[in-house]
């Protein structure tokens, strides 16, 4: 048998299976309708008999003096009309049973193919519905309306949520575009500051350009502050601290204003590095410079030890040892009034790390 013939056989089998399944579903649906009609008739008859029994008891009790034939004529006068209405209501209530089962989340009607016993359960539902047809119809109608209202409310909530998400997405896109623009501006001003610092380094030793060099440093500070106004980065704060430190060294007076600004920028760089912008190189530089600026400002020993401990707590042990070793020979450390205590503390930390 060729491949084409095999494919044709496979397709025919698939079509045959689908056709059989469709026929089973059709027979099942027909069975459900027939059961609903029969059960509706049975339940309608039962409901009618209950009604007539009650009606008879009332009429007999209130008409004892009437002739028996006259009473019988009154009882049977509306028989055909009433019986038809009860049968019709019974069938109608039974036909609403699938809707009721769907509303309560039952799968009895779909499981009757694999579980024929469910047909008896379904028939029982139909009979019960027909026995209390008026009440059942009104309750199903109320449930259906409530379900429709609930679905409408859910749809409104979903639509509202979709609109909210769209608004949030647009806001995020705008924020992202704005942030990207701010980052570009920040990098631009940071590069401008670096250019000023390079220019300063080229002419730092020239005494004739002393005032010009100060202006260059001030221009660098201005550029870095503008960069930070767009996006706070550890690198920008680190450069700002370094620039303030250079400006402090270039002044003849002993004012600590620029040096304090340098230490503040240094600490800010460390904070930003921890929370927003991870930059290992900037962090290492600022941790190192915090100690140097601290000794130049003659801070308390506890504060200086705290700055040293921040270096020691870094995960890169090799980098920590290198930073501490460089601090031991740093001119700022060697020239401070508390150099002996600071150097001893640094040596103690080095010994502990190199054990």
pLDDT tens-digit readout, 334-355: 888 888 899 999 999 998 888 7
| pLDDT score for 309 | 92
CA distances from 304 to 12, 252, 261, 288, 301 (A): 88, 26, 17, 11, 5
Residues 136-152 have pLDDT tens digits of: 888 888 888 888 788 77
188's CB contacts (< 8 A; 6+ apart) are 227
Q: Determine the length of the chain.
A: 355
Residue 11 CA: distances (Å) to CA of 7, 22, 24, 40:
6, 16, 20, 43
Q: What is the DSSP string of 123-162?
A: HHHHHHHHHTHHHHHHHHHHHHHHHHHHHHHHHHHHHHHH
Query: What is the pLDDT at residue 65?
Result: 46
Axis-axis angle for helices 133-203, 118-131 (nearest 10): 110
- pTM for the whole thing? 0.53
DSSP-derived secondary structure for 165-219: HHHHHHHHHHHHHHHHHHHHHHHHHHHHHHHHHHHHHHHTT-GGGHHHHHHHHHH
The CA distance from 353 to 273, in Å, is: 24
- pLDDT score of 55: 62
How far apart, in whole angstroms, are the C-alpha atoms of residue 63 and residue 67? 9
The alpha carbon torsion through 56, 57, 62, 63 (nearest 10 deg) reads 50
CA–CA dist 263, 271 (Å, integer):
12
Q: What is the pLDDT of residue 151?
A: 78
Domain boundaries, the chain: 3-131, 263-355
The answer to whether the beta carbons of residues 87 and 37 sit under 8 Å apart is no
**Residues with pLDDT less than 70, the chain:** 1-12, 53-82, 113-114, 174, 252-255, 274-278
Rounded to the nearest 10 degrees, the angle between the axes of helix 317-328 and helix 339-353 is 150
């Amino acid at each position: 048998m060729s491949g084409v013939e095999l494919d044709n056989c496979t397709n025919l089998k698939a079509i045959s299976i689908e056709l059989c399944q469709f026929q089973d579903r059709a027979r099942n649906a027909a069975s459900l309708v027939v059961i609903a009609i029969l059960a509706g008739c049975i339940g309608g008859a039962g409901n009618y008999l209950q009604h007539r029994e009650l009606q008879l008891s009332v009429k007999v009790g209130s008409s004892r003096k009437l002739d028996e034939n006259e009473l019988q004529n009154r009882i049977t006068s509306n028989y055909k009309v009433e019986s038809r209405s009860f049968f019709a209501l019974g069938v109608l209530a039974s036909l609403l049973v699938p809707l009721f089962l769907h509303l309560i989340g039952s799968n009895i009607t779909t499981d009757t193919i694999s579980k024929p016993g469910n047909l008896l359960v379904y028939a029982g539902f139909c009979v019960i519905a027909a026995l209390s047809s008026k009440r059942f119809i009104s309750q199903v109608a109320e449930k259906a309306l409530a379900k429709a209202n609930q679905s409408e409310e859910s749809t409104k909530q979903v639509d509202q949520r979709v609109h909210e998400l769209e608004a949030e997405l647009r806001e995020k896109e705008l924020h992202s575009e704005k942030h990207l623009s701010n980052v570009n501006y920040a990098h631009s001003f940071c590069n401008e500051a670096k250019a000023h610092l390079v220019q300063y380094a080229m002419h730092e030793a020239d005494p004739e350009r002393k005032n010009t060099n100060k202006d260059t440093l001030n221009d660098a500070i201005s550029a870095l502050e503008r960069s930070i106004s767009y996006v706070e980065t550890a690198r920008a704060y680190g450069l700002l601290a370094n620039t303030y430190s250079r400006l402090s060294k270039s002044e003849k007076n002993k004012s600590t204003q620029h040096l304090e600004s340098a230490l503040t920028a240094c600490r800010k760089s460390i904070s930003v590095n921890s929370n927003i912008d991870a930059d290992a190189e900037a962090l290492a530089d600022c941790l190192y410079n915090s100690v140097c600026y601290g000794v130049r400002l003659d801070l308390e020993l506890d504060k200086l030890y705290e700055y040293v401990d921040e270096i020691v707590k870094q995960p890169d042990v090799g980098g920590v040892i290198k930073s501490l070793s460089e601090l031991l020979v740093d001119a700022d450390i060697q020239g401070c009034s508390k150099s002996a205590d600071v150097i001893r503390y640094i040596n103690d930390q080095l010994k502990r790390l190199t054990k």
